[in-house]
Amino acid sequence: MLRSLPEFRRLLELRVVSQFGDGLFQAAMAGALLFNPERAAEPWAIAGAFAVLFLPYSLLGPFAGALLDRWDRRLVLVGANAVRLVLMLGVATLLAFGAGDVPILCGALIVNGFTRFVSSGLSAALPHVVPRAEVVSMNSVATAGGAVAAFAGANFMLLPRWLFGAGDTGASVIIFTAALPVALALVLSIRFGPHVLGPDKTRRAVHGSVAYVVATGWGYGLSTVAKVPTVAATLAGLASHRIAFGINTLLVLLLVRHGDSHNVAGLGTVVLFVAASGIGSFLATLLTPAVVHRFGRYRTANGALAIAAVVQLCGAGLQLPVMTVCGFLLGALGQVVKLCADTAMQIDVDDALRGHVFTVQDSVFWVSFIAAIAGAAAVIPADGDSPALACAGAVVYLVGLAAHAITARGHRSAGLG
């Protein structure tokens, strides 16, 4: 199949290399800020770190994302990869010299912004390199490949951390290492021909100056979501999953930090939890096309959200082994919902507005997560012992289920189930 789709193969290679570097970078930053004996992290500090790293681009992304529907996406990918490579080297240098949290966080948030710009560009470009009938299955292949690469990058981080230590020096070495796959991603971005990745020039394209297109990015993105119920419904379900995942992430981080070991072993426990979620996501990516074919997108997403509510309750005892198993299952169920959302945007949204909508999805993805961590930090005890918060996550899943079921109920034709 890949031999008959050479441009998709190139896009897949770019995604895999890019997400390996991203997984390595994100794990290095988690180790540097949350599991570094030279730096402290309590609930509000953890929430603040996530907010600084992910919130600014989440709010500004839809403005910048409009450029994905205005400029040649190949050039956007080349430029974004070049900038994030330079900035990543800067963050590594700051850590090497023991700079404070603020400049490191500021540098990392810009790196994350360009990384997510690349991710949105790759997703928006996919329908240009595969036949329409293969979008669901090839999106699953691309998502699975990226997830495995990010998982491998995050776990590879443990080796240099063990070799060079858990302090700032070890973190800087890891980030310098992460710059290598990002440099390769830059090279791979150059291989595409002009306009191979879109955008198409259709009557629905946003016209006007670049400044106008950027300034109205949020507006066009949100209005498009509102006009496509299948997209609005799955984004509501995805938001509920990310809120629950944010709650669970803070619970695990605090339980580990206040356990018997919170340095290398503690970070290993957190990596195991994230890895379990990632493996679940990977398996769901392989199985979702068949499930959607059997039940349709509508019933598939509804079922995933309903089961997720039950699984969330099973982890309310706050036993880390049980929470890890629940993380695996929730990772799988959340990925099912996300793939339904991706497919809705790739099939049901005009290409001239697809970049707008994917950056709105990215914002929903991260704003929900950060809001959940911030809200949980306001009420959670310092040691993370809060079964009520885990139960609240189950309620959130049920709210997401209701929102998805009601919003998409009248649009179950055309493969929705």
Query: What would the pLDDT profile of 237-254 be if each residue is shown by its tens digit?
Result: 999 999 999 999 889 888
Distances (CA, A) of 264 to 34, 167, 213, 231, 318: 11, 11, 47, 41, 21
pTM of the predicted model as reported, rounded to 2 decimal places: 0.73
Q: Of 128-137, 179-188, 196-205, 308-317, where does mean pLDDT reach its minimum?
A: 196-205
What the chain holds in terms of domains, given with CATH numbers, is 2-408 (1.20.1250.20)
**Among candidate residues 6, 16, 19, 291, the one with its CA nearest the CA of residue 137:** 291
Look at residue 416 in the predicted model and tell me its pLDDT.
Answer: 47
Q: How far apart are CA 15 and CA 153, in angstroms?
A: 13
Q: Is the pLDDT of residue 45 over 80?
A: no
DSSP 228: -
Look at residue 414 in the predicted model and tell me its pLDDT.
Answer: 43
Question: Three-state DSSP class for 414?
Answer: coil
Look at residue 313 in the predicted model and tell me its pLDDT.
Answer: 96
Look at residue 385 in the predicted model and tell me its pLDDT.
Answer: 87
Look at residue 291 in the predicted model and tell me its pLDDT.
Answer: 92
Look at residue 40 in the predicted model and tell me its pLDDT.
Answer: 55
DSSP 380: S
Look at residue 415 in the predicted model and tell me its pLDDT.
Answer: 47
Q: Is 399 exposed, middle or buried (0-12, 13-18, 19+ CB in 10 A)?
A: middle
Model confidence pLDDT, tens digit, residues 147-195: 889 888 888 887 888 788 777 888 899 999 999 999 999 999 999 988 8
Identify the band that residue 402 occupies on the pLDDT scale cut at 50, 70 and 90.
Answer: very high
Q: How far apart are CA 15 and CA 239, in angstroms?
A: 24
Identify the band that residue 236 occupies on the pLDDT scale cut at 50, 70 and 90.
Answer: very high
Model confidence pLDDT, tens digit, residues 9-19: 999 999 999 99
Token pair belonging to 207: 């016209």
Q: How far apart are CA 124 and CA 73, in angstroms?
A: 9
**Among candidate residues 98, 64, 66, 100, the one with its CA nearest the CA of residue 83:** 64
Identify the band that residue 392 occupies on the pLDDT scale cut at 50, 70 and 90.
Answer: very high
